[in-house]
Amino acid sequence: MTEPLAGVAGPADDTDVAGFWRSLGLPGAVDLHVHFMPDRVLRKVWGYFGSVRFPDGTPWPVVYQLDQDARVARLQAMGVTRFGALAYAHRPGMATWLNAWSAEFAAAVPDALHCATFYDEPDADAYVAMALEAGAELFKVHLQVGAFDPRSPRLRPVWTRLAAARVPVVVHAGSGPLPGAYTGPEVFGEVLAAHPQLTVVIAHMGMPEYQAFWELAVGHANVHLDTTMVFTDFVERFAPYPRAMLPRLAEHPDRVVLGSDFPNIPYRYAHQIDALTRLGLGADWLRAVCWRNPRRLLGVEAT
């Protein structure tokens, strides 16, 4: 087992988060699953979450409905030294202009990773090649919202290109909170079988198919899972993480990376970090998840 937290408590509030990293001996954290999008797109996302009701009637209030500069400042104040600025295409013809916006955002905000996306469309390989040439560090695709088949023949050269470039792709492939036509471990498992060298981050630990996505991760050298929303009180109500799997997380600390879904979350950022702390997997596990592993995926030497 990893070393215990030796009395270190998780952050109670956002103002405690930067101090929490220092208590672990870290200069900060790297959060790969953060969303920055054009304002009109993000406000539509917020409108969708504002209308969501779970079967028990529970709403999904977005806590951080702040302007762009305030959201960047909040992450910086919490000691998030680098963060994904993920956008994703949900229809044809959308990815190119999203990628252009994301490149401009990353150029203006040094802490933001240069991110890109793609969709199942004829020019996908061409604009993915352009994004990589421009320096894209992280991609995002959302199989539930996008409702496209990742096994599409038009995407084979895209996956091949990304695997060769060793650029990570954050993929929402799990069937939570709602299933899609192409979500689930079987579908994306076929992509990994065809492209075993892909560097992939499965969003939300594969929620709710946690076990099956974990098996995909340990069966492929470059597959990881992010913590986004998992283990929080909000998600534990409808998709609890199996506690019997925690020893396996402890055994493979290199396969998990920090993700939060900021700003589109119905609780404070600090709660996600506190939820990870409460797992009891130890200080070194947290250092790996929140610092070493994401830096390694980004090609930054882990220190």
Q: Is the separation of the CB atoms in 143 and 188 below 8 Å?
A: yes
Mean pLDDT by 10 residues, the chain (303 residues): 57 98 97 97 94 82 97 98 97 97 98 98 98 98 97 98 98 94 98 98 98 97 97 95 97 97 98 97 97 96 49
pLDDT at position 273, please?
98
Euclidean distance between CA atoms 292 and 290, whole angstroms: 7
Q: What does the DSSP assignment read for 274-287?
A: HHHHTT---HHHHH
pLDDT at position 301, please?
61
pLDDT at position 1, please?
34
Structure tokens at 219: 């069966």
pLDDT at position 161, please?
98
pLDDT at position 2, please?
39
Ordered structural domains, the chain, with CATH: 14-297 (3.20.20.140)
Beta-bridged to residue 216, according to DSSP, are none
pLDDT at position 296, please?
97
Look up tokens 């020893």; give the residue. 247
pLDDT at position 8, please?
67
